[in-house]
Amino acid sequence: MRIVTASEMYEVDRFTMEEVGLEGKMLMENAGRAIAEGIMKEISKQDEILVLTGPGNNGGDGFVIARTLYLKGYRVRVYSLVPEEKIKGDALYHLNILQNVGVPFHRLQNGELAVRLEGMDVIIDAMLGIGTKGALRSPYAEIVDKANKCEQAMRFAVDIPTGLSSDEGVETEVAFKAHKTFTVQCPKESAFIEANAQYYGELEVVDIGLFTESLVNRPGKKVWLKEDVVRTFPVRERFSHKGSHGRGLIIGGAPNMPGAVMMAARAALRAGAGLVSIAASHHLISTIAPYVPEATYTDLNLKTLDIDSFHAAAVGMGLGRSEQSASLFEDILRLANIPIIIDADGLYHLKKMKNMLKEHTAPVVLTPHFKEAADLLDTTVSALKQNPFSLTRAFSTEYGVYFLLKGPYTIITTTDGDQYVVTTGNESLAKGGSGDVLSGILLGLLLQSHHITEALCNGRFIHGKTAEILTRHTHSRYDLLASDVIEGLPMTLRTICK
């Protein structure tokens, strides 16, 4: 499912209207009806419903929603923040129909609210959409603030909550706090920015018949969905053998962190890796081995370890941050000609030698969380949280790496700058060890997949999905351990990836 900026959405509108020939009025009818259908599932006929409308097409959607609800017998009225003479085009067309049908219609008079917001059971925000520029002007800011204070009301936003920008990089001062946002055709970029989540609430995408084909030549941004996992998950052949499912290497294991490589190895095997080998300090091997008897072990000595005899490797989990481990990491990066995942302490060392990435020819996957990523990109966490798409895309294309920016909305960027967002999971995953398990799953899938992007998206998807399934059935969001996710993978794999 494509994610768009405002300018991309306007291009989709233009293409649909000018080149396909669907009229704007009809698209507005489709949008309003689809959103009204969604809202009707959440409300009752006893509810007092207020639709707040603005000057543009977002307001036009609001007129169609109000008419649809009214004709179905709901108690609805419309409150326009602008005088009728300011409403033009398709929105005016639908305002006329609204008034012909007899839906109660009020408008702001002399700057005063003619309708009370208090006591409303449902407030629908059709004030501003993707045409919003800058901070909210009066009276929008005041009315949004009043609407947000109506604590008993269910609040729905049309397309985007009024006050938010569609694009990343814009700080929000005041915005409508929706319980649920019905977004038209494609989710907007800003829906995946952490600071905006509280305004969007739940997000539902409604199909109104727009054609997104006109965007095919632009770098893509998409949400990776269950249907994508089902379509691309590696297929196992009846006569395959362990070698067909890949030989993976996990390099790490500082004496004080035996758990990291152990969990990564178990996760890789549970995700379907054929063979997993752990290269760690020999003191550690006897500690780890009983917990992962399926793995093989080798002393972490680059004179004897043939990295390229494996199909892919993961390095950095529990590697340590000493000078010695820094030079070990540098040697690994120089020697490896196989796809390599760099996580945790590997990312720490990489900061000082990131130019090596430009010469490195085999695929490299970086899996930082926001702090690690901000350090790598020489920026701050808050700047990265405001602009995660553009900053990671710039880094990925400059250094030629796959970049998996870990978070509740994980953004995966390819070396070409295409981006995928994976939203599965919940706060139970915010715990030590989660990253090690994710790296293991990613390695397991990298070994079995033809496409690196698919391996990364599918790996991150099943990691999050497993946490969701476990916290729904057997665990809470407090007690779930990283290793529980490994043991929960069978449930996800059995249901999603048969």
The entry of K ion, ligand NAX, none near residue 162 (CB within 5 to 8 angstroms by kind) is K ion
If we measure between CA atoms, which residue out of 229, 180, 177 comes closest to residue 424? 229
Distance of CA 450 to the CA centre of its chain: 23
**Which of 3, 49, 55, 161 is the binder for ligand NAX (CB under 6 A)?**
55
Q: How many residues bind ligand NAX (CB under 6 A)?
A: 28
For residue 370, count CB atoms less than 10 angstroms from its CB and return exposed for 0-12, middle for 13-18, buried for 19 or more.
Answer: middle
Q: Which of the choices K ion, ligand NAX, none does residue 125 contact, using the CB cut-off of 5 to 8 A by kind?
A: K ion
- Under the binding rule (CB under 5 A), the answer on residue 50 touching K ion is no
Contact stretch for K ion (CB under 5 A) within 124-132, 350-358, 413-421, 439-447: 124-132
Stretch near ligand NAX under the rule CB under 6 A, chosen from 105-113, 122-130, 173-181, 257-265: 122-130
The least distance separating ligand NAX from the CB of residue 466, rounded to whole angstroms, comes to: 36
70 is in an annotated binding site: no
- Residue 58 labeled ligand binder: yes
Burial of 117 (0-12, 13-18, 19+ CB in 10 A): middle
What gap in Å lies between CA 120 and CA 67, rounded to an integer? 18
- 131 assigned binding-site residue: yes
Ranges within 162-201 binding K ion (CB under 5 A): 162
Alpha carbons 19 and 329: distance in angstroms, whole number: 54
Q: Which residue is nearest to ligand NAX (CB)?
A: 129
Asked if 453 interacts with K ion (CB under 5 A), we say no
- Rule CB under 6 A: choose which of 2, 3, 13, 120 binds ligand NAX: 13
How many residues interact with K ion (rule CB under 5 A)? 5
Q: Strand order of the sheet with strand 364-366?
A: 221-223, 419-422, 410-413, 402-405, 364-366, 340-342, 312-315, 247-251, 275-280, 296-299
Q: State the nearest-atom distance from the C-beta of 103 to K ion, in Å.
A: 19
384-387: long-range contacts, CB 8 A cutoff, minimum separation 24 = 385/193, 385/194, 385/195, 386/168, 386/169, 386/170, 386/171, 386/193, 386/195, 387/168, 387/169
Do residues 64 and 31 make contact, with C-beta atoms less than 8 angstroms apart? yes
Task: Give one DSSP letter per residue of 157-199, joined into a string.
Answer: EESS-TT--SSTT---SS----SEEEEESS-BGGGGSGGGHHH
158 forms part of the interface with K ion (CB under 5 A): yes
Give the range of 132-140, 227-235, 279-287, 309-317 binding ligand NAX by CB under 6 A.
Answer: 132-140
Please name the residues in contact with 151: beta carbons below 8 A apart, sequence gap of 6 or more: none
Interface with ligand NAX includes 60 (CB under 6 A)?
yes
- C-alpha 238 chain-centroid distance: 35
Distances (CA, A) of 149 to 43, 117, 154, 378: 19, 9, 11, 40
- When binding is defined by CB under 6 A, the residue of 5, 56, 153, 307 that contacts ligand NAX is 56
User: Largest Cα–Cα distance in the chain?
Assistant: 84
Asked if 231 and 430 touch (Cβ cutoff 8 Å), the reply is no
Q: Name which of residues 151 to 210 contact ligand NAX (CB under 6 A).
A: 158-159, 184, 208
Nearer to ligand NAX, 131 or 417 (CB): 131
Q: Which does 61 bind (CB under 5 to 8 A by kind): K ion, ligand NAX, none?
A: ligand NAX
Q: Which part of the chain contacts ligand NAX (CB under 6 A), choosing from 24-32, 277-285, 345-353, 382-390? A: 24-32
Among residues 5, 68, 80, 132, which is the contact residue for ligand NAX, using CB under 6 A? 132
Beta carbons of 316 and 343 less than 8 angstroms apart = yes
User: Is residue 320 involved in binding ligand NAX (CB under 6 A)?
Assistant: no
Residue 93 binds: one of K ion, ligand NAX, none (C-beta under 5 to 8 A by kind): none
Stretch that binds ligand NAX, among 59-67, 195-203, 410-418, 470-478 (CB under 6 A): 59-67
Q: If you write DSSP's letter for every residue of 290-326 in order, what string do you get?
A: GG-TTSEEEE--TTT--GGGSSEEEE-TT---SHHHH
Any binding-site annotation on 495? no
111 is known to lie in a ligand binding site: no
Residues 316, 253: Cα–Cα separation, whole Å: 9
Return the range that interacts with ligand NAX (CB under 6 A); candidates 57-65, 114-122, 218-226, 476-484. 57-65
Is 147 labelled as part of a ligand binding site?
no
Binding site for ligand NAX (CB under 6 A): 13, 24, 27-28, 31, 54-61, 128-137, 140, 158-159, 184, 208
Binding residues: 57-61, 125, 129-135, 140, 159, 162, 260, 318, 369, 406-410, 435-436
Binding site for K ion (CB under 5 A): 58, 125, 157-158, 162
